[in-house]
Amino acid sequence: MLRGALMQQCGKWQATSRRSSAKMQLIAILLCLFAAGANADADKSIDVAVSISDHEISVDVGCYVRVSAQLAWSVMTDFDHATRFISKLEKSVVLSRAGDILVLWQKGSMGFGPLSIPIETVAEIRLTPFEKIQSHLLRGNMKKNEAVTRLIPDAAGTRIVYHLESIPDAWIPPLIGRALVEYETRARFDELLDEMLRRKDLADAKR
């Protein structure tokens, strides 16, 4: 309910911004990012740190979910069905696979409204089952996109640690770039955790 109210208000801000100056557009976008980020924080414990130096973006994420490492892994490596639970991912296709190394094509976007940026990548994915996922950019509309995800299990669940170093082709306005990347990262991990918990609930219901 809270999320719906915030996003409805965000829509009003955006509509207002389209009828006003560029400065008002910027203010509206910042307010939308702040509201959505605050709402995500209320529902999930996802720590996101973003830094931007020149054109390079560094992202670190730490989150905890009460599912096994095997279940968390099954969601994070379900590339064939990722578009079903990651809202801004349009295409996700495994082009080739050789053991624990695969080539993955993905197409999607980040941002919204005047700050919507298309993203298309082909990446080499190296899998260390239930422990680590490494992604190396082969081609696409990014100059650099290197990521490592680690899964650290304990008796109650799994801690997920993620690090990304990226240089996008598209220019990201420096004033709101950090807030935009933080919002998009948090939103994607929020969807991943939701899918993990959904699958856990389904498995529990069958017992």
Comparing 22 with 129, the larger pLDDT belongs to: 129
Residues 65 and 196: beta-carbon distance below 8 Å = yes
Do residues 34 and 79 both lie within one domain?
no
Do residues 37 and 72 both lie within one domain?
no
Do residues 37 and 50 both lie within one domain?
no
Instruction: Supply the range of the domain harboring residue 164.
Output: 46-205
CATH of the domain at 164: 3.30.530.20
Number of domains forming the structure of the chain: 2
Residue 25 has pLDDT above 60, yes or no: no
Residues 148 and 124: beta-carbon distance below 8 Å = no
Q: Which two tokens stand for residue 198?
A: 């959904």
First and final C-alpha spacing in the chain: 31
Do residues 111 and 14 both lie within one domain?
no
pLDDT number for residue 73: 98
Q: What is the dihedral of CA 43, 181, 123, 74, to 10 degrees?
A: 0
Do residues 39 and 53 both lie within one domain?
no
> Of 28-42, 77-91, 122-136, which gets the smallest average pLDDT?
28-42
Please provide the average confidence, as pLDDT, over all residues in the chain: 83
Residue 110 has pLDDT above 80, yes or no: yes
Do residues 3 and 98 both lie within one domain?
no
Do residues 99 and 186 both lie within one domain?
yes
pLDDT number for residue 170: 73
Cα separation values, 126 from 139, 142, 165, 192, Å: 16, 19, 16, 19
61-90 tens-digit pLDDT = 999 999 999 999 999 999 999 999 999 999
- Please state the φ and ψ torsions of residue 83, each to the nearest 5 degrees: -65, -15
pLDDT number for residue 2: 35
- Please state the φ and ψ torsions of residue 169, each to the nearest 5 degrees: -70, -40
Residue 44 has pLDDT above 60, yes or no: no
Do residues 24 and 120 both lie within one domain?
no
Where does the pLDDT of residue 200 fall: very low under 50, low under 70, confident under 90, or very high at 90 and above? very high
Give 172-189 as a DSSP string. --HHHHHHHHHHHHHHHH
Do residues 93 and 122 both lie within one domain?
yes
Task: Return the exposure string of 75-87: e unless at least 16 CB atoms fall within 10 Å of the residue's CB, then b.
Answer: bbbebeebbebbe
pTM score of the predicted model: 0.80
Sheet of strand 117-128: strand arrangement? 46-53, 56-65, 158-168, 142-153, 132-140, 117-128, 101-110, 89-98
Do residues 106 and 120 both lie within one domain?
yes
pLDDT number for residue 114: 65
Residue 128 has pLDDT above 80, yes or no: yes
Q: Which two tokens stand for residue 60?
A: 């670190």
Do residues 197 and 107 both lie within one domain?
yes
Do residues 59 and 155 both lie within one domain?
yes
